[in-house]
Each structure stands twice: as structure tokens, then as C-alpha cells.
Amino acid sequence: MGMDGSEHPLTNWVTTLSGRLQPYQHAILYVIVLLTIVWITSTAVVLPDMFLLNPDNNDASQKSNITPRQGLSPSTSARSTAQPLSSESESFIKSTMSRLEQRIQARRTGHGLYQLRLNQTNRWEKNGGFVYLTHGISDGGLGNWMFMIASLFGIACSSDRIPSLFLSSYWAEDYFEPLTFPRINKTEFLGVSELVINATAAAQTNATVGDDGRAGKFAYWLPDINFAKGSDNVILTGYLQSWRYFAAVRSEVRSLFIFATKIFSFALSAIWSELGNFYRRGRNESWNSKISRRLVGVHVRRGDITEDGGHRKFGHEPAPTEYFVHAVKYFRAKYPGALFFVISNDEEYCKGIFQGDEFLFLEQHHEAVDMAVLSLMDDLILSVGSYGWWASYLSDATETVYYKHWPRKGSDMAKIFETSEYFLPEWIPME
């Protein structure tokens, strides 16, 4: 109101403008909300996505339960609190990470090679349908599962069969790019309602079992399974841990196990963080920046195989300290300034035998991330077991050394194991 009781001109103008804008009020509100979101996004601190295995989860069926880590990642935290890197150190880290990223990209371009091979294979047919090959996969470690899948694929290719898996998914599949093997129904495949995968049950069903008692030996009859088993659908059993089962399709097998994006991302972040920590140690800046460094992965399996129990009794033998000392000396002499990335389930033991700035310890990571890290190294030192074996097989490492006295001589495991059929010929035995 004006002082004389009349409407103020500004009030009249606002009222008129409000009436004219009323049909557009929803659009105006949308624009205001959108501008608010843009402002909030532009001022927020964006943290990288990091993934860790739930430390309280030890159930093998839940091994793929990878969840976002809350708060700052290790690399972000180190960057925000530590002294800045010299330009030379930053340049080396960037060039190293670029090299590893290119390595990952090269692997990604190969994804699908196995499917291309299957599409080009002449399929064995029976009664108007294709003949399948599958594996009665039992639960076990990551390396064991990978051997079963790779051998299944290799034998299927050599016998013109379709490699297939039962409908149930396997926890390890979450670690890699999707596996496109056909999924089959157990009951329909076998023709029985109660499934027991053994030779007796299979003799009464629509499938036969291809079994061999050897784990680390090559069963020469399996690649020619058509001669041995005819045109029936076949279920493979056993660990089938020999590179010979898939020697003819090595590139295709490597394409089976391309790590998922989140796994590779965390692996790169772990490597980046440890390189940064190494170069931030003041005494390193004076001698480390101008030399080209090899990255050597060291896998140290201990834990269950160091205890008196089933694994030790069967023939597992942990690689001794002398072996690791010998292997490290070998790479130190060959590549002065090499950095050693140590991955183990016994951190205390490793920090006791690997002493020096050049040893970088990756701690509390998921098993798939650790394998991805090892697979990105320039060279590898393996201890024992199928986990390290696959880290090397998937890698582009120039040299891989392994402990030559595993399994223990005279043990039950040694009886079903042949060194030349388990370790690749180009790998180097040491003691």
C-alpha cells in the first residue's frame, strides 16, 4: 500500500508478472533445481571408487562380495598428507602407470578371442543336436577353478564339443569379464533327478564321466575324448592342472580371464600408491629418479601349508627363505634398481626376510586384485600353488622363476604330479 492507501506500483508490477509466469512455474522450478545440482557438483570433492573384500567374510561362496570402500583411498590419503614428489619421480610414476595401462588395454582388445574360436570350430553332432562337454566343478581356490575352466575349454576345442557350465554361477566369475559358455540344466544333461557326479551314476544316465586320478599330470587320452567316450555328452572331473590341455589355445585361454574393470582399477591404484610411497622416502629421491626400474612381483604362499595338517601331509611344501633370497639376488643382478612388489598371506614373515626400500608390500587386498597386480609385473617370483601359476600365465612377464622342490618328493601329491607337465617350459626353476 502507498501512504495514501492506494496499491504501490511495484506491487502491481509483481502481481502482473506473477500472473503472466504462472503457466511456466514448473519449468522455472526445474531450471532452479538443475542449476543448484550443477553448483553442488562443481564444488564437491570427488573421491575415486575403491573396492575391498569385506574382511569379516571368509565364506568361499561369498568371495566375490566386493564393496566400495568408504572415505579416502590409500593413494588419496597419501597424496594429501605426504611431501610432494619431485618432478623426476612424478614423471617416472606417470610413465610406469601409462605402460601398465597400455598392457591392460592390450589384454582387453583380446577379450572374446575364445568365443571367436568356438564359432569357428566344427561342432560334433548326435541325433540332430550338439555334443556338450562340461565339468563337475567342486568348490576350491581361485587357481583351481581357473585350471578347470581352461582345461574344459581346451579339451572342448580339441574334441569339437561345446564347452558348457551348469546353470549355477561360480563365485570366481565375478572377478572377470562375463564368461559366455552355454549354461545347461544338470537334470536334463544327465537324465536323473538326484545328481551324484561319479562313474556309477553316469553309467546310468545320458552322460559319461571323463576322470583321471592325476592332478598335475597330463592325461594324454583326454584331448581325444571322442575316441575314448564316443559321442556322448561328457562331464569332466578332477583338477586337470597341466598347461598341455590348452597349449594349442593359449591366447584364447588368456582371453577367458580378463579381469573386470573394478579389479584392474584397484590394482593400478595399489601400484600407484606404493610407487608414490617409495619415492616419498627422502633418501630415495637422490638415487632413484633417473633409472628405468623393472617391477618384479613376488608371491609368497604360506598360511595353511606351513601348518601340520592335510596340506602338509599330502605333499605341499612352502618355499623356503633361501629360495626367495636366491631369486631376489638373480633379479637384482640382472636389473639393478628393480622394485619388488610382495604379495603374501604372511606379512610378518615377508617383512622379516625382505628388508630394504626396494621391497613394496601390498596389504589387505582382495585375492583377485592381488592376482591382477602380479599379472601386470615385468617379471615374477612364484612360491607354490595354482594361484601364482595363473598370475604368471596371464601376465606378460619376461621371466618367471618358481620353487623347484614342490611338491615334496615321495609324497602322495608327487605321485600325481609331473613338473614338466605343470610348469611351463620357459619358466625357470630355482632352489
| Structure confidence at residue 199 (pLDDT) | 34
| Structure confidence at residue 402 (pLDDT) | 97
CA distance 126 to 413: 39
Q: Which residue has the cell 626376510?
A: 353
Q: Give the list of residues 6+ apart from residue 420 with CB closer than 8 angstroms, or none.
A: none
CA distance 121 to 45: 52
Q: Give the list of residues 6+ apart from residue 153 with CB closer than 8 angstroms, or none.
A: 114, 163, 246, 249, 252, 253, 256
Residues of the chain with pLDDT under 50: 1-11, 13-14, 17, 29-34, 36-81, 192-207, 213, 286
Bridging pattern class, strands 125-126 and 129-130: antiparallel
| Structure confidence at residue 315 (pLDDT) | 60
| Structure confidence at residue 115 (pLDDT) | 92
CA distance 164 to 132: 7
| Structure confidence at residue 194 (pLDDT) | 38
Domains of the chain: 96-110+259-430 (3.40.50), 113-256 (no CATH)
Asked if 259 and 176 count as a contact pair (C-beta separation under 8 A), the reply is: yes
Burial status of residue 269 (CB atoms within 10 A of its CB: 0-12, 13-18, 19 or more)? buried
| Structure confidence at residue 70 (pLDDT) | 27
| Structure confidence at residue 53 (pLDDT) | 33
Residue 283 phi, psi (nearest 5):
-70, -15
Sign, CA dihedral 308-311-317-321, equals negative
Q: Exposure string (b/e) for 381-418, b if CB count within 10 Å is 16 or more?
A: bbbbbbbbbbbbbbbebebbbbbeebbeeebebbebbe
| Structure confidence at residue 265 (pLDDT) | 96
